[in-house]
Structure formats: C-alpha cells, structure tokens
Amino acid sequence: MRAAYFMFSNFSHFGDLWPYYQHFGGLVHTTSKSLAQFLKEKYPSVAVTLDLAELRRFAPDVMLYASMQIVEGPWKHVQVFHGASDKPFYFEHRYEMERYDLCLCYGQREIDKFNKAGFRINAVPAGCARLDMPTAPLPPLFKNQRPVILYASSFGRHSSVERFMAAVYELSDKKFNVLVKPHPASAAEGGAAYDLIKRFADRQGESFKMVQSDNIVPLIKVCDLMLGDIGGSAYEAAYFDKPVLALNPDPAKYALNEEILSETYLWNFIDVVNEAEELAGFVQDTIEQDPRGTSRREIAAYSYYKHPELNALQVGIKAIESIL
C-alpha cells in the first residue's frame, strides 16, 4: 500500500500524521515552502514535495489529512483530524467531510457531533494515535520542585491570552513553575495576543518558560495542571488524567452550555475561571484537591476510544486497510 499525506499550513498538524508515516512511509505533499522546510529539518527521514505532479507520479493508494482539504486524485481520502476541540471548524467543511472515504474519529463524542449535525460520513472510532505514541522524556525544565502549570492557549476569538497572560505569569512569582506553549497560529495572526506573548517571552526565568513545539504531549506529561480555554489541548490533558482549568476568553460571549455542538461543551466537566484575579485561587484549589477529577475522566472516556487489545494506531491501520 502506498500512502501520501497532505499538509496545509500548520506545522503542528503533522504530529497526527507522523504515527501513520512511521508505519506506511510514503510522501508528504504541501503547498507551503516554510512547512516543507520545517519537515525537512525536524523530520529528515520524511519525503516531502511541493510538486503536485510528483505526487501524481508517486500514485498513492490513500491520502491522509489532518486538516480539512481534498487533493483530487484516484486515491482514497482519509481524515485523521488534529484535535478534539469544541471549536466549530470541522462543521464548516461539510463538502470535504462527506467526500472522505474514511474518518478516523477520536471517539464517540466526535461521532455523535457529526450525527447530530446531519453529516453523512464513514466514521470509525479509532482513538488518537499521537497520544498513544511513546515520547522521549524532556530534559529538566526547572531547577526547583514546584508544581508545573502548563498554559496552552488557543488563538483568535477563542484565545484567553489577552485576559489572562499577566495572571498566568504571576503564578510563577508564587508557588508554581509556569510553562507556556502558545498556539502555533498566534504568530500568523499577530495583533494584541501575539504582542503579549512576545512581551512575556522576554521575561523568562527560573520559574517561567515559554516553548514552541509541534507536539504538546511531552509537555502535558510533565505538568501537574493545565490551563486551556477553547481548544483541543484541554481534552488531551484530560486524556492523560491531568487536572484542567478553562480560562474564559470573554464571559460576555461564552458560558457553560450542555449542547454537544456548543463551543463550551467541555466546560461542563472542568472548572472555568472567568476573571483573571480568580486564577491563583482556582489553581491552588485544583492542585490540592482536584475537585473535577471524576467528571474529567468521564469526558475523556467519551472523547477517546480505547480498544481492549489494540492501540489507536493499530485500529487506524486496520480501518484504512479495510477501505482499499
């Protein structure tokens, strides 16, 4: 079987395709010169092309995607996805979704959302291969033994950076080590959030670090608590059973909503911080008591399928082979 992979613009999406590339090999196609350069530097063993004609000569049997595109050709189309977020992005791409020959959904929650939205797709619950893959341990990030708080914000209107970045930084002046991973799209957007990220990057010290990575999993594994907002990283922290707090980007726009298609569905299962001055108290209470542990595990089980015998990559491989 010959596999190809399409990358659009966000370098972090390759993390979801990488487990399948390691198994199938093949060819990555992108239209972004900077992304092609990133792949060549970070993954030198990966074959990359900007040339659509080269892709067609390669003649793959299947094309795998982590973002919402279709590259026309005689091959099968498989959507792998790049996050279990409540953001409505996937539901703005019905045309593409219904053209994929297979959608490797993370879990039943994702399938239920597509069904409720009326999408007609070939959905298979597969789990998330990226989360199941082993990761090399990180070198020590801090010299002290304080609890580590990971802040992984979203971008655009879903980002909490403008309201909470200063309060997050202040946590490092108290009892915590703070690790900040900005969303990769923050740089592309620019604006006030990007300016704040740059400003606080200059304040890095012994208990405050800012990092960029195409794989958040190693960072989640070393943290004691994660701060998110409206994005898939909070679900991933729940997958690893890490306490999670949601920072509300705009209380005038966002509130708890039990509707499964809402942008704040996850907030029903974790605590939400609405004001920056409340953050330190929420962090301290969550570190000490983890009051939402039971409901967090409930939403993680609903969101990520776990086969009794196979890992997520093996489930995905079997599903892909079944459509060829």
Q: What pLDDT, on a 0 to 100 scale, did the predictor assign at position 187?
A: 62
Residue 277 pLDDT level (bands cut at 50, 70, 90)? very high
Whether 134 is covered by a domain: the verdict is no
Domain identity same for 104 and 217: no
Q: What pLDDT, on a 0 to 100 scale, did the predictor assign at position 193?
A: 81
Looking at the predicted structure, is the pLDDT value of residue 210 above 70?
yes
Looking at the predicted structure, is the pLDDT value of residue 190 above 70?
no
Domain identity same for 228 and 253: yes
Rg (CA), the chain: 20
Distance CA 186, CA 202 (A): 17
Whether 203 is covered by a domain: the verdict is yes
Q: What pLDDT, on a 0 to 100 scale, did the predictor assign at position 108?
A: 97
Domain identity same for 274 and 234: yes
Q: What pLDDT, on a 0 to 100 scale, did the predictor assign at position 188?
A: 62
Domain identity same for 104 and 222: no
Whether 136 is covered by a domain: the verdict is no
> What value does the mean pLDDT of the chain take?
94
Whether 60 is covered by a domain: the verdict is yes
Whether 133 is covered by a domain: the verdict is no
Looking at the predicted structure, is the pLDDT value of residue 123 above 70?
yes
Domain identity same for 28 and 102: yes
Residue 94 pLDDT level (bands cut at 50, 70, 90)? very high
What range does the domain containing 103 cover?
Answer: 3-128+306-322
Whether 38 is covered by a domain: the verdict is yes
The model carries a pTM of 0.93
pLDDT tens digits for range 125-169: 999 999 999 998 889 999 999 999 999 999 889 999 999 999 999
Domain identity same for 92 and 9: yes
Q: What pLDDT, on a 0 to 100 scale, did the predictor assign at position 257?
A: 96
Name the 3-class secondary structure at 167.
Answer: helix
Token couple for 289: 């008591």
Q: What is the mean pLDDT of residues 288-303?
A: 98
Q: Residue 59 belongs to a domain with what CATH number?
A: 3.40.50.11720
Distance CA 77, CA 71 (A): 8
Q: What is the mean pLDDT of residues 238-258?
A: 97
Smallest CA-to-CA distance from 141 within 209, 86, 196 is with 209
Q: Do the Cβ atoms of 73 and 63 come closer than 8 Å?
A: yes
Domain identity same for 66 and 157: no
Domain identity same for 289 and 167: yes
Q: Residue 263 belongs to a domain with what CATH number?
A: 3.40.50.2000
Domain identity same for 7 and 83: yes
Distance CA 47, CA 239 (A): 31
Looking at the predicted structure, is the pLDDT value of residue 72 above 90?
yes
Distance CA 261, CA 112 (A): 9
Q: How many domains does the chain have?
A: 2
Domain identity same for 296 and 312: no
The sign of the torsion formed by the CA atoms of 72, 76, 82, 83 equals positive
Looking at the predicted structure, is the pLDDT value of residue 241 above 90?
yes
pLDDT greater at residue 10 or residue 63: 63
Whether 137 is covered by a domain: the verdict is no
Whether 143 is covered by a domain: the verdict is no
Q: What pLDDT, on a 0 to 100 scale, did the predictor assign at position 189?
A: 58
Q: What is the DSSP letter of 256?
A: -
Looking at the predicted structure, is the pLDDT value of residue 272 above 90?
yes
Looking at the predicted structure, is the pLDDT value of residue 269 above 90?
yes
Q: What pLDDT, on a 0 to 100 scale, did the predictor assign at position 136?
A: 87
